[in-house]
Amino acid sequence: MTVHILILCTHNSARSVLAEGMLNHWAQKLGRNVQAHSAGSAPSGRINPYAIEALNNAGIAAAAYRSKSWDEFSRDGAPPLSIVITVCDSAAAETCPVFFGAAGRQPVKVHWGYPDPSNAEGGDAGKRRAFELTRLAIGYRMLQLLALPLEPANRKDLEDSLAEIGRN
């Protein structure tokens, strides 16, 4: 059974897209049956070109990615979510829609905040550096996530493990 993980950020143009790309990349490399998705509360309608560049530079094809609303994941026919991760502070403070997990249970929710690389100073070079550093940091957390038993007998253990990853 595929474990579906939704990564949320307000505009779904940078951090959440980097997280989706890195999680899917590492899951495939490690042979884990995990599918990442990303969405936003107020999607911008476009992926930040620096996010696409950072993923492409890591060997991850991002051409098919699109900025989309989190509403797509609370509708009938949406994948059953096991985990929902917010990656920006504004999305963490918002009231999320109801997402459905497997067997009608709510997914585990966790916040892993990252500064917005779109706001980096230093022109193009500064933004490229910020996006690459954010991609690396997110990728490391995704590797830690993939080391966990994602369908644990004890839901609280998964919540605690995900929160611990966010503190490191």
CATH of the domain at 11: 3.40.50.2300
Instruction: Using DSSP bridges, classify how beta strands 81-86 and 34-39 pair: parallel, antiparallel or unpaired.
Output: unpaired
In a domain, 21, yes or no: yes
Residue 110 counted as domain residue: yes
In a domain, 89, yes or no: yes
Q: How many domains does the chain have?
A: 1
Structure-token match 């998964």, residue found: 158
Q: Quick check: is 88 catalytic? A: yes
Q: Does residue 69 have an active-site annotation?
A: no
Q: Considering the domain boundaries, does residue 101 fall inside one?
A: yes
9 is catalytic: yes
- pLDDT value at position 96? 56
Give how far the C-alpha of residue 27 lies from the chain's centroid of Cα atoms, to the nearest Å. Answer: 13
Which of 18-22, 91-95, 107-111, 152-156 shows the lowest mean pLDDT across its residues? 91-95
- Residue 64 CA to residue 69 CA, distance in Å, equals 16
Would you state the structure tokens that stand for residue 124, as one six-digit string? 């193009």
For β-strands 34-39 and 3-8, DSSP reports them as parallel
Distance CA 48, CA 140 (A): 21
Tell me if 134 sits within 8 A of 147, measured CB to CB. no
More confident residue, 35 or 64: 35
Q: 29 lies in a domain?
A: yes
Task: Convert the pLDDT of each residue in 53-87 to its tens digit.
Answer: 999 999 999 988 999 999 999 888 899 999 999 99
What average pLDDT does range 27-42 have in this prediction? Answer: 95
| Residue 5: strand pairing partners | 36, 83
pTM of the model: 0.92
Task: Please compute Rg for the chain using Cα positions.
Answer: 15
Cβ-contact 85, 111 below 8 angstroms: yes
Q: Which of 9, 19, 91, 92 is catalytic?
A: 9
Structural domain for 130, as ranges: 3-161
Q: Give strand pairing partners of 27.
A: none
Is 167 domain-assigned? no
Of the residues 88, 120, 138, 165, only one is catalytic, namely 88
The answer for residues whose C-beta is within 8 angstroms of residue 36's C-beta and 6 or more apart is: 5, 6, 7, 19, 20, 21, 23, 24, 27
Of 42, 58, 62, 96, which one is the catalytic site residue? 96
| 166 lies in some domain | no
Evaluate whether residue 45 is within a structural domain: yes
Tell me what the mean pLDDT of segment 5-26 comes to: 95
Paired tokens of 69: 């609303």
pLDDT at 6 over 80: yes
